[in-house]
Structure 1
Amino acid sequence: MSKTRSDAATVLADVRALREAEEAAAAGLLRQAVVWADLHPVVDEGLAATASHRGYDTGVPLAGEGTPAVDASCVAELAAALHCSTDAGQALLGQALELRHRLPRLWAQVHRGVVPAWQARRVAARTIPLSRDAAEFVDAQVAAVVGRIGPTQLDRLITAAILRFMPEEAERQRLAAADGRRFDIHHDTTGHQHGLAEVTGWLDLPDALDLDAAVTDGAQALADAGCQASLDVRRSMAVGELARRQPALDLTTSSDSEPATPSEGAGAPVPRPRVPVTLYLHLPAESLASGTAPGWVGNTGTPVTAGQIRDWCGRPGTRITVRPVIDLNETVTVAGYEVPERIREHIALRDRTCVFPWCSRPAHPHPRRTHRADGEPAWSTDADHIVPFAAGGTTATDNLAPLCRRHHRLKTFAGWSYHVLGPGRYLWRSPHGHGYARGPDGTVEVRGGAPPAPRPRPAPQALLDPARQPVPTG
């Protein structure tokens, strides 16, 4: 047994060493890309390298405002040496220049081994279109947490930074995006798709949530009627049932609770009364005064503008519930093992996701494919007793944390353990004794000794952790 553990420990050590070598090589590649650009300054502005998209020249500079131009003739040779397309070589050069000249904090962290090069490049790709001031702002905000969080959380963080720093431009982009909403049905014209049709589209989020819930209800109704097809097949069938039940819009219906008239034909499923879909919208307190600070959507975790929230809340028939701000540092305790909804909501607002290292599964209920028997959306994570209830642990907010089912099972059966460092902060231990500190600013590996203190977070604090001052509306 000890030999197996020793072998496993050796493998884990080798994996860490290889990952560090890979990240060091990627950082070195960024550094050499900048050196290559420095060796090939542009002589004639008309010959400067510009970004391409799918092989077509866009005329847009490789990097953002204030970065040096590069001679276009040098790009292809660098790309060939990397065994990649010229477009990919342009992207590497542009992102390296963006990091070196406009995101110096991230650049330094990459070369200290704190931030993987791929994450820094992802940030650089998003900041190239921004002004110098906006890029500096993003650099300051993102550098505090990048390397500790996953790509989805990183994209949300950058979006929130842009919404806060450039609210007028963000609102213009939002309105332009709304004009791009569409719903397309691509019919099979050759028989190659065996009579199936592809459906694509872009919907407003409340409309998409309603459609998703309706399709889920329809799929369940088909199952209740005896349909043995898989869930995915039943969902596709449910869309057809929706179309046949209401072939034209009926905008005079005042109640969502009345079931539609069943379509003709034997075996047609009778829909159950619809359960209203709740959209959780959170606004930091400062937005109530300024109207410009971004909020976020509890259902998806995405940042949105205050203008978008106003539009959604102003729709006819919308019911708004303003809940009091929850003190997330307060300890709430109940007797017994079962976790009530108010405590589930408390820990979901505090932690926002599963708290296992690097997991980003949202902790709030999802009105999509997970429903309880009564039709209400089920929570997408379990409320885990950190100290087991049977071992004397209490059902209290300071002894509960959201864990997705996979990681809950790892903690229960596979030797993973964790304890609380503070509100929303946890120290995990793997079966082989490796430590990982998880908190609102992501995950960091702990190698011996105490976990590192949280990184200083530049103002405004609400940008990086808006859940601390939520004003949810439903």
Structure 2
Amino acid sequence: MDLGGHLLQTVSPADPLGADRWDFHADPCATLVEQPAVDPALFESREADDDEADDLWEAALAPSGIVARAHAQRADELVAELTTIDALQARLEARKAMVLAALTAAVGGSSENPAHRLDAPNVAASELAAALRISQRTASAAVAEALIVTDKAWKPVLEAMAAGDLPRRRANVILDAAAPVPPERLEAFAAEAIGIANPPDPDQTLSQGALKRHLRRLGEKYAREPLSVRKERVSAHRRVDLEPAQDGMCWLSAYLPLEVGAAIDTRLEAIARSLQSPEEHRTINQLRADVLADLLGSDASATAGIGSIEAVATGDAPPSPGPTGGVRTELIVTVPARTLSGDSDSPGEIVGYGAIDASAARILASEAATWTRLFVDPEDGAPLALGRRRYTPTLAMRRFLGARDRTCRFPGCDKPAAAAEADHTREWAEGGTTEADNLALLCPQHHRLKTVGHWDVRHVRSSAPPGSPMPPGRPVPPGTLEWKAPSGRRYLTYPEGDPAPPF
């Protein structure tokens, strides 16, 4: 029936709340064209732990619940469209790469004249720059990338892009991770890398940061030279750069060994958090910037009006002179026992940051104030559980969470464990316990989104329940989280799927 351009449909038995009586076409905010009917069966019985039943129960009690559901359905459609657009962009990027490779061949890349072949990429880039009105440098980078991804060795990557399964951003991670891999091993590397970047089960898809770490480890497997040799060579290029920005600001960046950069980052975070208080109005990012300015340029920071940073001392030791006295920092470094003994040069890893060479791992181990060897329960991976006896996790549990989660556990977030907070998945005030299978690391931003109620999260205990985005009954590793978005979509996040870290 047509009512003034609004479509009125009958109630579907599969939709007892009458959401199909809403018009999603005339107005992005659903327009109610007839009072929705409520199925009396909703009031008969419900499972106490069934999230879906809880949602239906609340929706049946008030019209506002029905409105929220209608908006969520609209949001779900928009999110689905975004995923479609992402796949389409991947196909277009694959097509663009093939066209640029063909253009390079057409302007001399397939010539028998060596000089013409050498000039062909520059000629193709000049054509691209003129046609799109972009710089020669940008065009040259696009041509170089296209010639790499269309090479025979990278066939699996190009095919995945052409199928819409591998966005360009993830393809570039594969290409970057291949830097230490010699040409004769590229095909084998690409075949294994595409399985990690584009797994058969979409729920196993890694975040961008986790993908980088996994593929760098894979690159070490296929590398001709060990990490220590390459690091010694490239460390000669260490530097600090300053790039002026708008409004009298600038960007300061440094190219340093990973263990040095990770220590700096962790120390900045620790000092900044020690300064937080109810009276402190600065954000954590502002505090980190001010701490850096105070440590390295006190005169300049005073001129800029930043003021002196005075960290709060923690622990039993008296604070040492200077603004950072008494602040404790902690890096979680996993090192194979054979590497520590000198019997192997296998890399170690700074959890949440990446691999370090064996020499750096031994140095960090020799300088460690404390050593922790984690023995975990083979059933659930938890080192211990405190139940309701204590709200705050012990230091051992916090270390375990850092080793298990490595980063914030929100889908796609890659904030390192050192900058995340241990959150009770089921809130303590609601009866949640302090144990590994009710704790997860969340960065402050996603911790807030979860606490406020925009996103719901729960631990998946043993196998996927009905309604999850994975087949029911499939076993899941300890620490698996199921997130429910405001749109109603569900996402699973897993602990990083590497073998257990070497302790």
State the TM-score, normalizing by the size of structure 2: 0.62
Q: Is the 8 A contact 1:209 1:277 kept in 2?
A: no
Rg comparison, structure with higher value: 2
Q: Is the 8 A contact 1:216 1:235 kept in 2?
A: no
User: CA distance change for structure 1 residues 142 and 236 in 2, over 3 Å: closer, same or farther?
Assistant: same
Q: Is the 8 A contact 1:219 1:235 kept in 2?
A: no
Residue type matched to 2:350 in 1?
A: V
Displacement of 1:287 in angstroms is 4.7
Structure 2 counterpart SS, 1:395: coil
Q: Is the 8 A contact 2:92 2:162 kept in 1?
A: no
Displacement of 1:237 in angstroms is 3.4
Q: Is the 8 A contact 1:384 1:403 kept in 2?
A: no
Question: 2: CA distance between counterparts of 1:184 and 1:85?
Answer: 23
Question: 2: CA distance between counterparts of 1:397 and 1:470?
Answer: 19
Structure 2 counterpart SS, 1:84: coil
Question: 2: CA distance between counterparts of 1:161 and 1:72?
Answer: 33
Question: 2: CA distance between counterparts of 1:241 and 1:107?
Answer: 51
Structure 2 counterpart SS, 1:144: helix
1:431 to 482, 486, 497: 486
Q: Which residue of 2 aligns with 1:67?
A: none
Q: Is the 8 A contact 1:382 1:408 kept in 2?
A: no
Q: Is the 8 A contact 1:221 1:272 kept in 2?
A: no
1:295 to 334, 348, 359: 348
User: CA distance change for structure 1 residues 145 and 437 in 2, over 3 Å: closer, same or farther?
Assistant: farther
Q: Which residue of 2 aligns with 1:306?
A: 358
Q: Which residue of 2 aligns with 1:99?
A: 149
User: CA distance change for structure 1 residues 176 and 403 in 2, over 3 Å: closer, same or farther?
Assistant: same
Structure 2 counterpart SS, 1:120: helix
Pairing of 1:5-154 with structure 2 (within 5 A): 5-39=72-106, 40-49=109-118, 72-100=122-150, 101-127=152-178, 130-146=181-197, 148-154=205-211
Q: Which residue of 2 aligns with 1:163?
A: 220
User: CA distance change for structure 1 residues 437 and 111 in 2, over 3 Å: closer, same or farther?
Assistant: farther
Structure with greater proportional helix content: 2
Structure 2 counterpart SS, 1:334: coil
User: CA distance change for structure 1 residues 169 and 22 in 2, over 3 Å: closer, same or farther?
Assistant: same
Displacement of 1:297 in angstroms is 0.8
User: CA distance change for structure 1 residues 383 and 160 in 2, over 3 Å: closer, same or farther?
Assistant: same
Moved more, 347-356 or 5-14: 5-14
1:359 to 390, 394, 413: 413
Q: Which residue of 2 aligns with 1:265?
A: none
Question: 1: CA distance between counterparts of 2:196 and 2:334?
Answer: 22
String of CA shifts for 1:412-470, please: whole Å, max 9, x gaps.
Answer: 311433441522333322122212222245xxxxxxxxxxxxxxxxxxxxxx725x133
Question: 2: CA distance between counterparts of 1:228 and 1:388?
Answer: 27
Residue type matched to 1:105 in 2?
A: P
User: CA distance change for structure 1 residues 325 and 417 in 2, over 3 Å: closer, same or farther?
Assistant: closer
Query: Larger RCO: Structure 1 or Structure 2 (Cα < 8 Å, ≥ 6 residues apart)?
Result: 1
Question: 2: CA distance between counterparts of 1:211 and 1:351?
Answer: 21
**Structure 1 unaligned residues grouped into runs of 5+:** 51-69, 244-255, 262-269, 367-379, 442-463
User: CA distance change for structure 1 residues 33 and 284 in 2, over 3 Å: closer, same or farther?
Assistant: farther
User: CA distance change for structure 1 residues 437 and 106 in 2, over 3 Å: closer, same or farther?
Assistant: farther
User: CA distance change for structure 1 residues 102 and 404 in 2, over 3 Å: closer, same or farther?
Assistant: same
Residue type matched to 2:448 in 1?
A: R
Q: Is the 8 A contact 2:421 2:442 kept in 1?
A: yes
May I ask how many residue pairs the two structures share in their alignment?
A: 385
User: CA distance change for structure 1 residues 107 and 417 in 2, over 3 Å: closer, same or farther?
Assistant: same
Structure 2 counterpart SS, 1:333: coil
User: CA distance change for structure 1 residues 19 and 46 in 2, over 3 Å: closer, same or farther?
Assistant: same
User: CA distance change for structure 1 residues 310 and 88 in 2, over 3 Å: closer, same or farther?
Assistant: same
Question: 1: CA distance between counterparts of 2:457 and 2:268?
Answer: 39
String of CA shifts for 1:75-103, please: whole Å, max 9, x gaps.
Answer: 42244444433433333333333333112
Question: 1: CA distance between counterparts of 2:501 and 2:269?
Answer: 33
Structure 2 counterpart SS, 1:293: coil
Residue type matched to 1:362 in 2?
A: P
User: CA distance change for structure 1 residues 217 and 10 in 2, over 3 Å: closer, same or farther?
Assistant: closer
Displacement of 1:282 in angstroms is 0.9
**Structure 2 unaligned residues grouped into runs of 5+:** 1-66, 199-204, 301-315, 465-475
Q: Which residue of 2 aligns with 1:416?
A: 456
2:326 to 253, 263, 274: 274
User: CA distance change for structure 1 residues 158 and 388 in 2, over 3 Å: closer, same or farther?
Assistant: same
Question: 2: CA distance between counterparts of 1:80 and 1:153?
Answer: 38
Displacement of 1:110 in angstroms is 1.5
Q: Is the 8 A contact 1:150 1:360 kept in 2?
A: yes
Question: 2: CA distance between counterparts of 1:9 and 1:212?
Answer: 37
Q: Equivalent pairs: percent with the same residue? A: 23
Residue type matched to 1:153 in 2?
A: A
Q: Is the 8 A contact 2:450 2:457 kept in 1?
A: yes
Pairing of 1:463-474 with structure 2 (within 5 A): 465=498, 468-471=500-503
State the TM-score, normalizing by the size of structure 1: 0.66
Question: 1: CA distance between counterparts of 2:433 and 2:275?
Answer: 42
